């Protein structure tokens, strides 16, 4: 059974057939899905989906792209959302320096505030790090009690080893299946399977050979296959261990 640890099913791309897609997942081998929010409204939508489907769990958080114009009470409201029994993490949160509209200082402030909340609530976090590896590493180092996952990991093998040492997990999307993927195979080789997870980041980044199509969790087996090829392990083992890793990190029984 596969665990897609990162998929955005509230996205408008699923408006026409959301129920069809989500209902069919357990029958196609995907027994668990974690749906992270990007701001307060999408965190609420993720929770609503988790209430509706037993195999769907949620995370609540403010993505760096959405850090502008937050309501004054956003952190209190976020804390309230995390008290829902199906909210298993704070996410997605982090830094995105590709996205220039949101000043870096504000991104850092919102990231730190949510890491503080994660420490207080003892919840894992889902980190989005795009072109901000140095600052992301420096900031999480300031929160040694916080554990979680760097999703769609795009950093170096050296940084990956450091994160593993600090107790973090890494997860990989369809980008690892692309022919031009260079860094990811090196990272996957360098990191123990016990710290890896698979994800789609649906509706984005469909893996080869579905590239360009809308992505959904059925495709997550391609990420497990790719990790199995890189590590020279049976795919069943990669499926089993990555699912166990996700269940352990997010405290799902
Ligand atoms: Ni995402």
**Which tens digits make up the pLDDT trace of 81-95?**
999 999 999 999 999
C-alpha of residue 36 to centroid of ligand 1, in Å: 7
C-alpha of residue 104 to centroid of ligand 1, in Å: 19
- Within 83-195, strands assigned E span 87-96, 125-130, 148-151, 169-172
The pLDDT value recorded for residue 182 is 86
C-alpha of residue 43 to centroid of ligand 1, in Å: 12
Token duo for residue 140: 């999480």
C-alpha of residue 204 to centroid of ligand 1, in Å: 8
The answer to whether the CB of 128 falls within 8 A of the CB of 100 is no
Single pTM value for the model: 0.97
Q: Which of 63, 81, 72, 75 is nearest to 113 (CA)?
A: 75
The pLDDT value recorded for residue 180 is 87
Token duo for residue 184: 């990811």
C-alpha of residue 186 to centroid of ligand 1, in Å: 23
pLDDT per position in the chain (253 positions), as tens?
A: 999 999 999 999 999 999 999 999 999 999 999 999 999 999 999 999 999 999 999 999 999 999 999 999 999 999 999 999 999 999 999 999 998 899 999 999 999 999 999 999 999 999 999 999 999 999 999 999 999 999 999 999 999 999 999 999 999 999 999 988 889 999 999 999 999 999 999 999 899 999 999 999 999 999 999 999 999 999 999 999 999 999 999 999 8
**Which tens digits make up the pLDDT trace of 57-80?**
999 999 999 999 999 999 999 999
C-alpha of residue 173 to centroid of ligand 1, in Å: 10
Distances (CA, A) of 196 to 119, 163, 231: 22, 12, 12
C-alpha of residue 166 to centroid of ligand 1, in Å: 23
C-alpha of residue 118 to centroid of ligand 1, in Å: 18
C-alpha of residue 35 to centroid of ligand 1, in Å: 9
Report the alpha-carbon distance of residue 238 to residue 127 in Å, rounded.
22
- Burial string for 127-141 (b: 16+ CB within 10 Å, else e) reads bbbbebbebbbebbe
Token duo for residue 117: 């909340």
The pLDDT value recorded for residue 145 is 96
């Amino acid at each position: 059974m596969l665990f897609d640890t990162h998929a955005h099913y509230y996205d408008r791309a699923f408006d026409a057939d959301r129920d069809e897609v989500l209902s069919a997942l357990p029958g196609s081998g995907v027994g668990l899905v974690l749906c992270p929010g990007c701001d307060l409204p999408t965190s609420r939508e993720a929770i609503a989906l988790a209430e509706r489907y037993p195999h769907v769990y949620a995370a609540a958080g403010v993505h760096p792209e959405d850090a502008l114009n937050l309501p004054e009470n956003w952190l209190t409201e976020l804390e309230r959302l995390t008290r829902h029994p199906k909210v298993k993490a704070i996410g997605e949160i982090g830094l995105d320096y590709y996205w220039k509209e949101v000043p870096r200082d504000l991104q850092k402030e919102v990231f730190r505030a949510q890491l503080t909340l994660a420490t207080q609530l003892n919840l894992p976090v889902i980190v989005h790090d795009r072109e901000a590896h140095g600052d992301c590493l420096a900031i999480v180092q300031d929160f040694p009690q916080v554990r979680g996952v760097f999703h769609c990991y795009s950093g170096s093998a050296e940084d990956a080893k450091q994160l593993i040492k600090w107790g973090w997990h890494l997860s990989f999307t369809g980008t690892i299946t692309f022919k031009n993927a260079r860094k990811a195979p090196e990272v996957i080789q360098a990191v123990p399977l016990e710290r890896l997870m698979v994800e789609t980041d649906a509706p984005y980044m469909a893996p080869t050979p579905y590239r360009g199509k809308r992505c959904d969790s059925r495709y997550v087996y391609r990420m497990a296959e790719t990790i199995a090829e890189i590590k020279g392990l049976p795919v069943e083992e990669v499926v089993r261990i990555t699912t166990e890793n996700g269940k352990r990190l997010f405290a799902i029984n």
